[in-house]
Amino acid sequence: MPARVYKILLILGIAAMVVAIPLFWLTYNAPRNLEVNFLDVGQGDAVLIKTPGGQNVLIDGGPDKTVIKRLGENLPWWDKQIDLMILTHPHDDHVTGLIEVLKRYRVKRILYTGATHNAPNYLTWLKTVRDKEVPLTIVDKARTVALSQSVKLEILYPEKSLLNKTLADLNDSSIVLQLIYGQNKFLLTGDAGLAVEKALLASGADLAADVLKVGHHGSEYSTSQEFLDKVKPRLAVIMVGKDNDFGHPNLRIIKRLERAGARIFRTDGVGTVKLKSDGMKVWLD
Ligand SMILES: [Zn+2]
């Protein structure tokens, strides 16, 4: 074989490999199941949902920049896009980490309530959202957000606009939603308290879920027996920091969950809780 032909073949071969290897790697790494990662961010909430179609949804960001480290651990290095960011309510342990996320990730859109809160971290978050020109949508009624053909978010609460409203208890402004994939349901309640649970029960919404992100870090002001009777979770995730100042989670709530037959996972015990679903069953990864 003449040397020139050999050279051309060699170059073509290398070029084919350069294209094929990343393609194979990308396809191989694309999530085929729904992934719900309850990120260990200490005393706070941050939940990363990865859909089978490759979308990333981040609900809350925890109390500091730890969320950046956790996103890095749970997303491939080249994936810097958050398709949907949801802020359940503007307390520091939910909003603070989202500021840094806005700076480092391409955030496509945001859902929040717009309830009034004048703490510095929330105001900085709002300013960063404006600077980055991320479209904001107010949750003002129960609605469905389709993430893909097979994955959707059912927003259950709030049922009315809280924009510029001052609430006696901001926890009760929390966005409550159900993530649905096939037959599997995840109920995420932010820090919603007993009043919100009552409203949800009265709304007649189907609250049954395989997985419950336990409200308000497992405090005694959330997860009433009546609510639990309707949700009937098989798995319960409590997002708390080790030795936190609030005494979360409350022992009575843990007992209540156990009596309801839920298997409990705590971020202060096992770190990030990674659950997967194929639409038929949910399992711990
Ligand atoms: Zn909280």
Residues 58 and 255: their CA atoms lie apart, in Å, by 30
Q: What is the pLDDT of residue 23?
A: 63
The whole-number average pLDDT for the span 178-207 is 97
> Separation of 1 CA from ligand 1 center, angstroms?
71
Residues 45 and 240: their CA atoms lie apart, in Å, by 8
> Separation of 105 CA from ligand 1 center, angstroms?
23
Q: What is the pLDDT of residue 10?
A: 78
**String of DSSP letters for 156-224:** EE--S--TT---S-GGGG--EEEEEETTEEEEE-TT--HHHHHHHHHHT-----SEEE-GGGG-TTS--
Residue 29 pLDDT grade (very low, low, confident, very high; cuts 50, 70, 90): low
The partner residues of 274 in beta bridges, in order of sequence, read 37
Task: Tell me the residue length of the chain.
Answer: 285
The whole-number average pLDDT for the span 190-201 is 98
Average pLDDT over the chain reads 94
pLDDT at 93 over 60: yes
Residue 1 pLDDT grade (very low, low, confident, very high; cuts 50, 70, 90): low
> Separation of 173 CA from ligand 1 center, angstroms?
12
Q: What is the pLDDT of residue 125?
A: 98
> Separation of 201 CA from ligand 1 center, angstroms?
22
> Separation of 204 CA from ligand 1 center, angstroms?
26
**pLDDT, tens only, 228-261:** 999 999 999 999 999 898 989 999 999 999 999 9
Q: What is the pLDDT of residue 100?
A: 98
Q: What is the pLDDT of residue 24?
A: 62
> Separation of 50 CA from ligand 1 center, angstroms?
22
Tokens 């901001």, located at residue: 170
> Separation of 93 CA from ligand 1 center, angstroms?
5
Residue 262 pLDDT grade (very low, low, confident, very high; cuts 50, 70, 90): very high
pLDDT at 30 over 70: no
Q: What is the pLDDT of residue 14?
A: 75
The whole-number average pLDDT for the span 51-77 is 97
Residue 27 pLDDT grade (very low, low, confident, very high; cuts 50, 70, 90): low
HSE-CB for 240 with a 13 A CA cutoff: 24
Share above pLDDT 70 across residues of the chain, in percent, rounded to a whole number: 95
Residues 248 and 125: their CA atoms lie apart, in Å, by 26
Q: What is the pLDDT of residue 12?
A: 79
> Separation of 216 CA from ligand 1 center, angstroms?
6
> Separation of 62 CA from ligand 1 center, angstroms?
8
Residues 71 and 79: their CA atoms lie apart, in Å, by 10
CA dihedral 21, 24, 27, 29 (to 10 degrees): -70
> Separation of 239 CA from ligand 1 center, angstroms?
9
> Separation of 280 CA from ligand 1 center, angstroms?
31
The model's pTM: 0.90
**pLDDT, tens only, 120-166:** 999 999 999 999 999 999 999 999 999 988 999 999 999 999 999 99
**pLDDT, tens only, 8-19:** 777 777 777 776
Q: What is the pLDDT of residue 18?
A: 72
Residues 279 and 152: their CA atoms lie apart, in Å, by 12
> Separation of 7 CA from ligand 1 center, angstroms?
63
Share above pLDDT 90 across residues of the chain, in percent, rounded to a whole number: 87
What residues flank ion ligand 1 with Cβ within 5 A? 93, 191
> Separation of 221 CA from ligand 1 center, angstroms?
12
Q: What is the pLDDT of residue 185?
A: 98
Beta strands in the chain (DSSP E): 34-38, 47-50, 56-59, 81-82, 84-86, 106-107, 110-112, 136-138, 143-146, 151-157, 176-181, 184-188, 211-213, 235-238, 263-266, 273-277, 282-284
> Separation of 95 CA from ligand 1 center, angstroms?
9
